[in-house]
A and B are shown apart, each in its own frame.
Chain A
Amino acid sequence: MTITHPTSTSTRIGTLGTNAHRPDGVAKVQGGFAFSSDMWSDNMLWGGTLRSPHPYAKIISIDYSAALEIRGVACVVTAQDVPGNPYYGLIMSDQPVFAAIGEYVRYSGEPVAAVAADHPETCKRALAAIKVVYEILTPVTHPEDCVSGFAPQIHPEGNIYRHQRIITGDQSIVGDVIVEGTYEIGMQDQAFLGLESALAIPDSGGEGLELYVATQWLHEDRKQIAACLNIPEEKIRLVLGGVGGAFGAREDISLQVHTCLLALKSGRPVRISYGREESFYGHVHRHPATIWMRHHADDNGKILKIESRMLFDGGAYCSTSPAVLINAITHTQGPYKCDNASVEGWAVRTNNPPCGAMRGFGVVQACFAHESQMEKLGVALGLSPVEIRLRNVMETGDRLITGQIMDSVAPVEQCIRETDAIAMPEPLLPNADIRQIPGGTGLTAQVGNIVRGVGWGVSMKNLMYSEGFDDYSTARCRMTDGVVSVKFATSEVGQGFTMLAQQIARTILGVDEVLLDTIDTQVGSAGSTSASRQTWMSGGAVKAACEKVLEDLFDHAALTFELTRDQLRIEETDIVDILSGRRIAVSEASKGINLDRTEEYHHPPTQDLDENGQGNCHVAFAFVAHRAVVDVDIELGLVKVVQIATAQDVGRVLNPISVQGQVEGGIAQGLGLAVMEEIIVKDGKVRNPSFTDYLLPTFLDAPLVEMVLIEEFEPKSPLGAKGVGEPPCISVTPAIANAIRNATGRELLRVPIRPYDICL
């Protein structure tokens, strides 16, 4: 794998643009880093959750008397023990903490009760001893039935989470060339490795508590927990437990309220740690979707009009379905010019597993459809995949189908051209190592049956939250007697924000040592570690707080050392008077002083969409191109992804190795969706809730990745950088699908592409 990007101008190790050391790195390689599942407290109990086996049923009775008789069981909690709001949810408060007697369970795996006991095994026995009588009902499992109104209403809030259209331009236009298709995207799991886990410790006074939890947004969790517990937010302190990956699956409440209820009822610390099967039931997944799309183009390949209908299955509870849908429909055009469009989107409630955020957030689904269409359009016009895309590339200043003007840096053409310039991999040799051919060590494929294919995918992704949401971030910077410390509530989920915060402080304040305060709710909200937003948002907040401290430091230095205030700059670790050239070390200038600033960073406001889907709903955008090379055994339907070439619009590179890691990791997840990963749901039940049956890309499945990072400073971004987390996993999926189509000649309308889709 190679990486090429402009050389950084910064030289001091640990500043912006360098490969700084992760502050959590040593602990992580030594096994000493405390993940939320490593949390432990004296006198701690283990919690467990009883879940419904039925996708739709009415609860007639719950009898847990036998569970309480088991020695070692401390308490059982059910819906009757929830003192506050019995429901929670990120957008709509529609999901019960526990399904209550007389009420309904709406998905297979919905919590009904929780137990605290002295040992995980005791918990399991206690859960098995709880008798729940259900009246089993016929589940609603087809999202189309919700749109048509054929399905019975399964929730007081109705079966439609959101219905939104986008209408723009001249609807009467008909293209010289028209291509269409109906595409399906399967349900993908985030499959973070660090399972859901939390430790709740009740205050000795009994009123409030402390919760150590792996989450993406501490303050939002606290808000929802406080409402359910009917406790003021200030009596609940949330501390970030080490997070073993997130990818969207930790945006929603899972075990937070249950753990707190058990701790408050038992008066003892309680930890709940999910196993892998429970994790599949405990968090939301990527929405499965069905997308019809029709492109009209002129004879030269210029897109004239796009029509689309998108149907997203949100499952039993709302989560972020309305926002996912809006992301999908507003990205219908992809990174291409389009003046005329008619798009209709639905997100609906069914008795399937709840779906919500996953890396890419609605854009993954839309991109699979529009890039499948671009491939068809190219074939219909006799243009190469590169040429059809180059004839339509979006540029800064273009008007989007929502009426919003693209005011981000938009180097789409450069992404495509740079990707195209990356060398192709070597051809497959007749004596190739089995580990390099489809089927690998299974020794199944024969080189003679293998066909190579090449495919493209290009995408656009919004950054930050949309539609009027002020997802601000807060940071506090202190300089005490020369020691700098930074505090924020930003969830470090593995992406490296703690490292970036240190880089920012080192660069601005001219220090080498930067201490990191505990990540908890004792400072203002940071917003969620989602939507590729923390480098921009929390990076912006840390920058603002550090700059305020720097102003104070310059004021102090000007007075103390008789310097001219507005001539002061930081160079390396010195304060420099740029006219006189006089230098004073920051360590010297900051002796004996105590500076303390807390700042918020807000992005520019956005708007809701109107009834025709018009409005400035997004903050900013990033772009990426992917070219996939695959080898396909056409008899067995086995695929080996040989190489992914990519050029990504990243703004400014703040930490080269971290960007590289995000790109490679995102590509592996997009590969998973293309050919491996799917939660299989039948009659409302998950059939493969384990890593034995839900297949994740392994070392041998990972392709060679060749990347170019396109650095064009984004003026709107506080650090000039764009978020880089989501784009890598978006267009790589259709690039792989297009490569398999290229190899097989098959239309292949759904992902993941299964062997029998290819060979039967």
Chain B
Amino acid sequence: MSSETLGNEMYTLRVNGQDHQVKDAWIGESLLYVLRERLGLPGAKGACEQGECGSCTVVMDSQAVCSCLVLAAAAIETEIHTVEGLGVDGSLTDIQQAFLAAGGVQCGFCTPGFIVAVHHLLENNSQPSDDEVRESLSGNICRCTGYGRILEAVKIVISQRNES
């Protein structure tokens, strides 16, 4: 970037429990851009830049947000959680496992956004009805699956958690 548009100040983002310093960034960069291009966290995907498709979903202070619509510099002093922060030491969460078992993954571009959105949904409502699942996830577009296998994945998780 040319010098007149560079932000001289540095800022810190707290992502998945770790502080990351962002240096020499243009102040207009979205949280999605900074996560992907500056912090090496490419799990959140950009597919519409308008908050319509949910591919870039991350959790910010317990709210699921479209990171394409959040200015990175406005996310300081928040707790940001991305798909990379799920699972302990590279293991898969029950939700990630269920997506694979049910066939909820095809091209996989929407998958990280869906995975984050489903974690967020089940943290706030452990027993959603099918209609509640559909409504909660209606901000995440999938072009491959027609959503059937994704609904199945969520139902598998709910039933497994009820059993345990």
Say yes or no for A323: interface residue by CB 8 A criterion. no
State in angstroms the CA–CA spacing of A192 and B133 once bound together: 23
Do A664 and B111 have beta carbons less than 8 Å apart? no
Contacts of A493 in B (CB 8 A): 107
Contacts of B82 in A (CB 8 A): 31
Do A193 and B53 have beta carbons less than 8 Å apart? yes
Contact of B28 among A27, A33, A121, A495 (CB under 8 A): A121
Q: Which of A634-668 contact B (CB under 8 A)?
A: 657-658, 660-661, 664-668
Do A245 and B143 have beta carbons less than 8 Å apart? yes
Contact of B135 among A29, A35, A244, A441 (CB under 8 A): A441
State in angstroms the CA–CA spacing of A30 and B28 once bound together: 28
State in angstroms the CA–CA spacing of A244 and B110 once bound together: 8
State in angstroms the CA–CA spacing of A755 and B118 once bound together: 32
Residues of A in contact, count (CB < 8 Å): 67
Q: Which of B91-121 contact A (CB under 8 A)?
A: 92, 96, 99-100, 102-103, 105-112, 115
Do A660 and B52 have beta carbons less than 8 Å apart? no
Say yes or no for B31: interface residue by CB 8 A criterion. no
Do A660 and B100 have beta carbons less than 8 Å apart? no
Interface residues as binary, B114-134 with A (CB distance below 8 Å gives 1, 0 otherwise)? 010000000000000001011
Do A29 and B42 have beta carbons less than 8 Å apart? no
Do B92 and A33 have beta carbons less than 8 Å apart? no
Do A664 and B2 have beta carbons less than 8 Å apart? no
Do A245 and B109 have beta carbons less than 8 Å apart? yes
Contacts of A121 in B (CB 8 A): 1, 5, 26, 28
Say yes or no for A150: interface residue by CB 8 A criterion. no
Interface residues as binary, A333-362 with B (CB distance below 8 Å gives 1, 0 otherwise)? 000000000000000000000000000000
Say yes or no for B83: interface residue by CB 8 A criterion. yes
Closest residue of chain B to A728 (Cβ to Cβ) is: B146
Say yes or no for A113: interface residue by CB 8 A criterion. no
Q: Which of A36-80 contact B (CB under 8 A)?
A: 37-38, 40, 70-72
Do A244 and B103 have beta carbons less than 8 Å apart? no
Say yes or no for A760: interface residue by CB 8 A criterion. no
State in angstroms the CA–CA spacing of A4 and B138 once bound together: 28
Do A19 and B103 have beta carbons less than 8 Å apart? yes
What is the number of contacts between chain A and chain B, taking CB atoms within 8 Å? 196
Say yes or no for A606: interface residue by CB 8 A criterion. no
Interface residues as binary, A561-589 with B (CB distance below 8 Å gives 1, 0 otherwise)? 00000000000000000000000000000
Say yes or no for B64: interface residue by CB 8 A criterion. no
Say yes or no for A494: interface residue by CB 8 A criterion. yes
Contact A1:B152 (CB < 8 A) given known A435-B134, A494-B107, A696-B141: yes
Contact of B50 among A122, A435, A667, A690 (CB under 8 A): A690
Interface residues as binary, A89-122 with B (CB distance below 8 Å gives 1, 0 otherwise)? 0000000000000000000000000000011111
Interface stretch, picked from A481-489, A507-515, A697-705, is A697-705
Do A692 and B50 have beta carbons less than 8 Å apart? yes
Contacts of B11 in A (CB 8 A): none
Contacts of B28 in A (CB 8 A): 121
Say yes or no for B3: interface residue by CB 8 A criterion. yes
Say yes or no for B39: interface residue by CB 8 A criterion. no
28 A/B residue pairs, CB under 8 Å, sorted by A:
A1-B148, A1-B152, A25-B105, A30-B43, A30-B92, A30-B112, A31-B83, A32-B84, A34-B42, A71-B2, A121-B28, A245-B109, A247-B143, A275-B49, A496-B106, A657-B149, A661-B144, A661-B145, A664-B145, A665-B144, A665-B146, A667-B146, A668-B146, A669-B143, A690-B48, A691-B141, A698-B139, A702-B134
Q: Rank and list the top 8 A-B pairs by shortest CB-CB distance, nearest first.
A: A31-B43, A494-B107, A28-B108, A244-B109, A668-B146, A664-B146, A657-B103, A31-B83
Known: A436-B131, A667-B146. 20 other contacts (CB 8 A): A19-B103, A22-B105, A24-B108, A28-B112, A31-B42, A31-B111, A32-B43, A33-B108, A193-B142, A243-B107, A245-B106, A247-B143, A660-B149, A664-B149, A666-B146, A669-B146, A697-B146, A699-B147, A700-B138, A702-B147
